[in-house]
């Protein structure tokens, strides 16, 4: 078992986060060429997934109807199952889960606060938007992991999806209250920027305060496909991304 608790947080961060270069093809960075270290990669994914579990639980608790509460039990279950899969990957590496997540706690909590919407509908959309963006991003950089580690991460990321449950709930909400559309579209656009900061954090690592540093501007083209997928998901809901 790796012992992290007799070290300072900075020592843990240095050990977990290895330096890595991001290859560039012309002006385009290929996310599949990013070479993330497994432990911080999974540690950040787990920290973010746990926030999605917590937020889904609060949305379930505040759901306007029993029917919506029942539907949201599947959303909570699916995200909790994915978090469990990430935890098992860390355990297979003999790394304590809290040590792997520790460098990302501050940034993840700040991100969770940014996801707090004005009401239940915005909270629900936040889960849909953020989970979709982050899943696409993590899948895109899984090929940079060692081959022996790729399958477990892809199984976790590409397992059962909460997407159909969230789409049904959101469509019903928007159809029932059409005036929600404009506000929800604006909220969805705001969430994209905060999610992109988490992607920069995964690629560049945190600064001394544990914050994301979007310093490599040539990474921006690499996110085009991810944002395009987000746009298709918003179109599916009749919202303009």
What pLDDT does 184 receive?
95
- Alpha-carbon distance of 79 to 213, in angstroms, equals 27
The model's confidence at residue 28, banded by pLDDT at 50, 70 and 90, is low
What pLDDT does 217 receive?
46
Core vs surface per residue 42-68: b (16+ CB within 10 A) or e: bbbbbbbbbbbbebbbebbeebeeeeb
Comparing 73 with 21, the larger pLDDT belongs to 73
Distance, first Cα to last Cα, the chain: 46
* Residues 212, 214, 219, 220, Cα dihedral to 10°: 110
> 34-236 sits in which CATH class?
mainly alpha
Question: Across residues 198-209, what is the average pLDDT?
Answer: 75
Q: Does residue 14 register a pLDDT over 70?
A: no
Residues 6+ apart with CB under 8 A from 94: 1, 2
DSSP state of 25: E
- Alpha-carbon distance of 85 to 92, in angstroms, equals 11
Task: Show the CA angle centred on residue 86, arms to residues 18 and 31, nearest 5°.
Answer: 50
Q: Does residue 221 register a pLDDT over 70?
A: no
- Alpha-carbon distance of 60 to 149, in angstroms, equals 34
Question: Across residues 8-14, what is the average pLDDT?
Answer: 33
Burial environment of residue 136 by CB neighbours within 10 A (0 to 12, 13 to 18, 19 or more): buried
**Nearest alpha-carbon partner for 128 in 61, 220, 64, 192:** 192
Q: Does residue 235 register a pLDDT over 70?
A: yes
Tens digit of each residue's pLDDT (9 = 90 or more) over 134-150: 999 999 999 988 888 89
pTM: 0.83
- Alpha-carbon distance of 224 to 230, in angstroms, equals 10
Tens digit of each residue's pLDDT (9 = 90 or more) over 91-126: 999 999 999 999 999 999 999 999 999 999 999 999
Comparing 170 with 14, the larger pLDDT belongs to 170
How far, CA to CA in Å, does 89 sit from each of 82, 84, 155, 158, 198? 11, 9, 11, 15, 21
Tens digit of each residue's pLDDT (9 = 90 or more) over 45-96: 999 999 999 999 999 999 999 999 999 999 999 999 999 999 999 999 999 9
Residues 6+ apart with CB under 8 A from 160: 78, 81
What three-state secondary structure class fits 104?
helix
What pLDDT does 146 receive?
86
């Amino acid at each position: 078992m790796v012992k992290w608790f007799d070290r300072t947080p900075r020592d843990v961060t240095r050990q977990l986060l290895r330096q890595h270069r991001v290859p560039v093809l012309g002006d385009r960075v290929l996310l599949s060429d990013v070479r993330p270290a497994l432990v911080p990669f999974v540690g950040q994914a787990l920290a973010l997934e746990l926030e999605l579990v917590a937020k889904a639980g609060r949305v379930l608790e505040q759901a306007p109807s029993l029917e919506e509460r029942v539907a949201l039990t599947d959303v909570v279950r699916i995200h909790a199952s994915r978090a469990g899969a990430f935890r098992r990957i860390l355990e297979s590496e003999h790394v304590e889960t809290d040590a792997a997540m520790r460098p990302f706690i501050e940034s993840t909590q700040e991100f969770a606060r940014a996801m707090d919407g004005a009401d239940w509908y915005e909270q629900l959309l936040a889960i849909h938007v953020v989970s979709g963006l982050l899943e696409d991003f993590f899948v895109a950089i899984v090929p940079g992991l060692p081959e022996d580690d790729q399958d477990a991460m892809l199984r976790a990321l590409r397992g059962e999806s909460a997407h159909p449950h969230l789409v049904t709930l959101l469509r019903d909400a928007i159809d029932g209250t059409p005036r929600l559309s404009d506000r929800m579209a604006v909220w969805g656009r705001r969430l994209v920027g905060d999610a992109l900061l988490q992607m920069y954090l995964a690629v560049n690592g945190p600064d001394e305060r544990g914050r994301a540093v979007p310093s490599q501007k040539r990474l921006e083209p690499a996110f085009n496909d991810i944002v395009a997928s987000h746009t298709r998901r918003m179109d599916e809901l009749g919202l303009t991304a």
